């Protein structure tokens, strides 16, 4: 799903305000008398004085004969209807005659009961109903139920298995994500197998990655592979409704899903409901969103994991998610879905090329090379644009030229937002990342390199060196801390060594290195100067983990000096390692530039050659 949001969504409240205003206006114009406050009961004597004053126009007796109703001008000069009691008064007829008042059985200004009924009941209700219809139509367009009675029902679209028809074959270049999802497919296939042994599969998995990388597609593929129904709803659909509706919708979604189990529930853009709850604002805040989130958490905790309902959610802003969502039993599996590398882009192009007629001998690799940083959705778009161009030019197959042209159109379109790197920049990033990796590899006691990539992330990182420890790590010794800082400085060190100047690319490295060094001095007792003295405290471990100093100003200055010293020493170490291994640095950087992503194994093979 690339962009499923319709552009103009007026809040419902506007419609209500308009409706009320219309009714009021209607009443003010059509029933002025009603607005002015109906029939006034007055004393008989007052009635007589009004007759004498010539204010009374018409008089009539009520049907049962115990009331007199009359039409007269009131103090402001408007016509008004009054009633008074019937009083034995023989002179009344003469009095009325002399005042020139007409008397009849029915005041003509007073409408017949039928007309009254029509105007005061049938018409307003009719108008309300029409307005309601109009309102509902608006709601239906926004994917909500059209029937007022079913307001609490979620409108999660149910895609039956035959309708998704998507398999893992349709998803290219996301091998790691697919591998992680295969187990879920198997579970949905035969939940009893897992139940028999007592195994519980995760209830939820979070697909994390930039837009257009195929998260929705992967979720559909899981449903397609497992031949189970696919419920899909977007996080934004939960919150744009009346207060309390979001929670009701969640409840209903899970009810439906439970009835259809085994099945896949896919929640796109989960960050819109799952945002971190603001710790500071106890009052106000977004209560509606919070209610929805709480309901989601309750439902996830409540349903039976063995039944075969698997919830997949997608987000491209995992850092903003409420930690409660990520706890065990909820979305405790995180599946990264990354922008494709060169091989991935070739594969994606080929998948989409299956659907169009290609001229023989089209070079997909050339197209893939030219589209570093493009997402799966953009590559799909490139193939489609090329096909459109071929049709425009009256051909019946897509040729290389069409593809190259459409790369220009599509890339130019997203270059602005995504900043596809120039060759020169890619070269710098390659050296920078290899710098990190080399420094890491040449130090003892530092985690082995698992993967190096120069595919830009939406997070802003242009490249990335992943180090993965063999076992989980809870402690770090002083040497490891120092090594890590050296590794962090390795990026800029390589830039300086090779190009003679440095770029802004190392800002995050610098931040991390500084944090580590500060921690060593102020919190972990790893400096000779201060020893085991706490100089900083962590304010709130669960909210950001920021720290405050708990020492004198003079001490703070000394801490800074120590931090600078530690980072400087680390940088000198990195410089030394890179100088000693310069030929390997060049060789590895070239290889990375060529391949865009290399594994730790490939890296070690070249390093140890
Ligand atoms: P996301 O949910 O991550 O924003 P989608 O799954 O909606 O992305 O992807 C949009 C479209 O882009 C898909 O329907 C598909 O045509 C194409 N696409 C994206 N990634 C891939 C991929 N890895 N393989 C094949 N097609 C892809
Ligand atoms: Zn770096």
Quick one: which ligand is closest to 383's CA?
Answer: 1
Measured between alpha carbons, how far is residue 341 from residues 125, 348, 380, 555 in Å? 62, 10, 15, 49
Question: Do 95 and 48 meet the contact criterion of CB atoms below 8 Å apart?
Answer: yes
Catalytic residue numbers read 433
Give the list of residues 6+ apart from residue 323 with CB closer than 8 angstroms, or none.
276, 542
Residue whose CA is at the smallest distance from ligand 1 atom 5: 214
- Please tell me if the CB atom of residue 59 comes closer than 6 angstroms to any atom of ligand 1: no
**Is the entire prediction scored with pTM above 0.85?**
no
- Does residue 346 carry a pLDDT above 70? yes
Which CATH number is 423-608 given? 1.20.58.760
Task: List the one residue out of 1, 72, 88, 5 whose CA is nearest residue 39.
Answer: 72
Q: What are phi and psi of 386, to 5 degrees?
A: -65, -40
* Mean of the per-residue pLDDT values of the chain: 79
- Does residue 410 carry a pLDDT above 80? no
- Does residue 123 carry a pLDDT above 90? no
* pLDDT recorded at residue 27: 62
Q: Where are the alpha helices (DSSP H) in 269-314?
A: 271-274, 287-302
- Pairwise pLDDT comparison (81 vs 181), residue with the higher score: 181
Q: Which of 64-68, 323-327, 336-340, 393-397 is the least confident region?
A: 64-68
What whole-number distance in Å separates Cα of residue 328 and Cα of residue 199? Answer: 15
* pLDDT recorded at residue 28: 61
- Pairwise pLDDT comparison (471 vs 261), residue with the higher score: 261
* pLDDT recorded at residue 518: 92
Question: Do 314 and 215 meet the contact criterion of CB atoms below 8 Å apart?
Answer: yes
What is the distance in A from the centroid of ligand 1 to the CA of 340?
11
Query: What is the CATH architecture assignment of 39-110?
Result: 2-Layer Sandwich (3.30)
- Does residue 312 carry a pLDDT above 90? yes
pLDDT tier for residue 38 given thresholds of 50, 70 and 90: low
Give the list of residues 6+ apart from residue 315 with CB closer than 8 angstroms, or none.
206, 207, 208, 269, 270, 271, 274, 321
- Tokens coding 212: 């257009």
- Tokens coding 605: 């093979």
What is the distance in A from the centroid of ligand 1 to the CA of 100?
87
- Pairwise pLDDT comparison (277 vs 566), residue with the higher score: 566
- Best probe residue, ligand 1, of 214, 270, 382 (max atoms within 8 Å of C-beta): 214
- Please tell me if the CB atom of residue 210 comes closer than 6 angstroms to any atom of ligand 1: no
Fold of 342-411: Helicase, Ruva Protein; domain 3 (1.10.8)
pLDDT tier for residue 280 given thresholds of 50, 70 and 90: very low
- Tokens coding 106: 């029915």
* pLDDT recorded at residue 14: 67
Arithmetic mean of pLDDT, 527-537:
86
Measured between alpha carbons, how far is residue 149 from residues 152, 153, 257 in Å? 8, 9, 21
Range of 9-23, 237-251, 584-598 with top mean pLDDT: 584-598
* pLDDT recorded at residue 414: 44
pLDDT tier for residue 3 given thresholds of 50, 70 and 90: very low
What whole-number distance in Å separates Cα of residue 449 and Cα of residue 477? Answer: 19
- Pairwise pLDDT comparison (14 vs 301), residue with the higher score: 301
- Best probe residue, ligand 1, of 4, 169, 173, 217 (max atoms within 8 Å of C-beta): 217
What is the distance in A from the centroid of ligand 1 to the CA of 352?
10
Quick one: which ligand is closest to 382's CA?
Answer: 1
* pLDDT recorded at residue 255: 86
pLDDT tier for residue 109 given thresholds of 50, 70 and 90: very low
- Kindly list the domain boundaries of the chain, sorted by start residue: 12-31+115-150, 39-110, 157-277+284-336, 342-411, 423-608
pLDDT tier for residue 568 given thresholds of 50, 70 and 90: very high
Which of helix, strand or coil describes residue 312?
strand
- Best probe residue, ligand 1, of 342, 377, 382, 384 (max atoms within 8 Å of C-beta): 377
- Please tell me if the CB atom of residue 207 comes closer than 6 angstroms to any atom of ligand 1: no
- Pairwise pLDDT comparison (551 vs 490), residue with the higher score: 490
What whole-number distance in Å separates Cα of residue 596 and Cα of residue 116? Answer: 80
pLDDT tier for residue 144 given thresholds of 50, 70 and 90: very low
- Tokens coding 370: 């030219």
Could you give the percent of the chain with pLDDT greater than 70?
A: 79
- Please tell me if the CB atom of residue 215 comes closer than 6 angstroms to any atom of ligand 1: yes
Altogether, the residues listed in the chain come to a count of 609
pLDDT tier for residue 433 given thresholds of 50, 70 and 90: very high
Instruction: Label the pairing between strands 547-549 and 536-538.
Output: antiparallel
Neighbours of 565 (CB within 10 A): 14
Question: Do 60 and 107 meet the contact criterion of CB atoms below 8 Å apart?
Answer: yes
- Please tell me if the CB atom of residue 314 comes closer than 6 angstroms to any atom of ligand 1: yes
Residue 207 CA: which ligand 1 atom is closest? Answer: 3
- Pairwise pLDDT comparison (288 vs 448), residue with the higher score: 448
- Please tell me if the CB atom of residue 526 comes closer than 6 angstroms to any atom of ligand 1: no
* pLDDT recorded at residue 84: 83
Neighbours of 358 (CB within 10 A): 22
* pLDDT recorded at residue 513: 94
Question: Do 555 and 535 meet the contact criterion of CB atoms below 8 Å apart?
Answer: yes
What is the distance in A from the centroid of ligand 2 to the CA of 42?
91
- Pairwise pLDDT comparison (52 vs 158), residue with the higher score: 52
Which CATH number is 157-277+284-336 given? 3.40.50.300
- Please tell me if the CB atom of residue 145 comes closer than 6 angstroms to any atom of ligand 1: no
């Amino acid at each position: 799903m690339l962009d499923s949001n319709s552009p103009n969504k007026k809040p419902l409240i506007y419609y209500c305000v308009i409706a009320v205003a219309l009714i009021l206006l209607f009443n003010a114009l059509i029933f002025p008398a009603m607005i002015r406050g109906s029939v006034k009961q007055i004393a008989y004597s007052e009635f007589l004085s009004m007759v004498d004053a010539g204010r009374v126009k018409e008089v009539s007796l009520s049907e049962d004969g115990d009331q007199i109703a009359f039409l007269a001008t009131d103090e402001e000069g408007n016509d008004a209807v009054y009633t008074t009691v019937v009083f034995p008064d023989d002179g009344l007829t003469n009095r009325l005659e002399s005042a020139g008042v007409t008397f009849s059985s029915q005041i003509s200004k007073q409408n017949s009961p039928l007309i009254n009924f029509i105007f005061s009941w049938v018409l307003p209700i009719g108008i309300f109903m029409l307005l309601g219809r109009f309102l509902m139509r608006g709601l239906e367009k926004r994917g909500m139920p059209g029937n007022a009675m079913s307001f609490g029902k979620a409108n999660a679209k149910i895609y039956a298995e035959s309708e998704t028809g998507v398999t893992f074959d349709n998803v290219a270049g996301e091998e790691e994500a697919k591998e992680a999802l295969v187990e879920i497919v198997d579970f949905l296939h035969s939940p009893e197998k897992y139940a028999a042994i007592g195994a519980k599969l995760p209830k939820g998995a979070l697909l994390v990655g930039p837009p257009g990388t195929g998260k929705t597609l992967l979720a559909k593929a899981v449903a397609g592979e497992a031949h189970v129904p696919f419920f899909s709803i977007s996080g934004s659909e939960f919150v744009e409704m009346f207060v309390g509706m979001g929670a009701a919708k969640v409840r209903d979604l899970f009810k439906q899903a439970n009835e259809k189990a085994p099945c896949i529930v896919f929640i796109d853009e989960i960050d819109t409901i799952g945002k971190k709850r603001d710790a500071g604002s106890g009052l106000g805040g977004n209560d509606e969103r919070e209610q929805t989130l709480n309901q989601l958490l309750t439902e996830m905790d409540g349903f039976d994991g063995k039944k075969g309902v698997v919830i997949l959610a997608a987000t491209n802003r995992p850092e903003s998610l409420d930690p409660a969502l990520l706890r065990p039993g909820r979305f405790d599996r995180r599946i990264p879905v990354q922008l494709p590398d060169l091989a991935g882009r070739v594969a994606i192009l080929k998948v989409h090329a299956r659907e169009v007629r290609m001229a023989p001998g089209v070079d997909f690799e050339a197209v893939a090379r030219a589209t570093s940083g493009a997402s799966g959705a953009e590559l799909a778009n490139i193939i489609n644009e090329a096909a459109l161009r071929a049709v425009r030019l009256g051909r019946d197959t897509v040729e290389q030229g069409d593809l190259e042209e459409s790369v220009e159109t599509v890339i130019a379109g997203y270059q602005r937002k995504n900043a596809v790197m120039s060759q020169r920049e890619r070269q710098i990033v390659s050296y920078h990342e290899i710098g990190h990796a080399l420094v890491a590899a040449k130090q003892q006691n530092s985690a082995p390199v698992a993967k190096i990539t120069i595919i830009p992330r939406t997070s802003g990182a242009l490249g990335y060196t992943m180090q993965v420890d063999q076992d989980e790590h809870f402690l770090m010794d002083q040497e490891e801390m120092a090594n890590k800082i050296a590794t962090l400085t390795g990026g800029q060190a390589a830039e300086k060594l090779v190009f003679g100047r440095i770029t802004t690319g190392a800002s995050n490295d610098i931040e991390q290195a500084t944090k580590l060094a500060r921690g060593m001095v102020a919190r972990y007792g790893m400096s000779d100067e201060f020893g085991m003295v706490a100089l900083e405290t962590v304010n709130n471990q669960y909210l950001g983990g920021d720290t405050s100093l708990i020492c004198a100003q003079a001490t703070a200055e000394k801490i800074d000096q120590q931090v600078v010293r530690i980072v400087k020493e680390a940088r000198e170490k990195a410089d030394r390692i890179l100088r000693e291994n310069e030929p390997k640095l060049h060789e590895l950087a070239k290889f990375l530039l060529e391949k865009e992503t290399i594994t730790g194994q490939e890296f070690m093979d070249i390093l140890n050659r």
